[in-house]
Amino acid sequence: MDYRNGPDHSALRYRIPGTKDLIAELDIVVLTRDLPDSRLKAGDVGTVVHAYEARRAYEIEFVALDGGTISVVTVEPGAIRPAGPNEIAHARMVA
């Protein structure tokens, strides 16, 4: 692979089963349901840090606005969706 212009992540994109959405490592995603044990709520925005074999699960990192990690969770594909081009992040206090 030629990385002179940055890595080519096109080969890393995988379709979430039952949708037209593609998720790749380093993508920004939105949580679709609350994860109370991790202090996360539907709508929280995270980054895919790992996609497991056959894309059966994803590891997502959620960070505070100061850059500190709030939580790293492993979720099934139905628990996330890609962030859309016309969406805006919303700040909230983490309990």
Put simply, whether the predicted model's pTM sits higher than 0.85 gets the answer no
Query: What's the pLDDT tens digit per position in 30-75?
Result: 999 999 999 999 999 999 999 998 888 999 999 999 999 999 999 9
CATH code, domain carrying 20? 2.30.30.40
* Domain with 46 in it: 9-82
Indicate whether 34 belongs to any domain: yes
In a domain, 1, yes or no: no
Strand order in the sheet with 45-51: 69-75, 58-63, 45-51, 28-31, 80-82
33 in a domain, yes or no?
yes
Whole-number Å distance between alpha carbons of 62 and 17: 23
Examine residue 92 and state whether it is found in any structural domain, yes or no.
no
Q: For residue 93, is it within any domain?
A: no
Q: Is residue 94 part of a domain?
A: no
Higher pLDDT, 5 or 77: 77
Position 89 in a domain: no
Structural domain total, the chain = 1
| Coil vs helix vs strand at 38 | helix
Write down the pLDDT at residue 83: 93
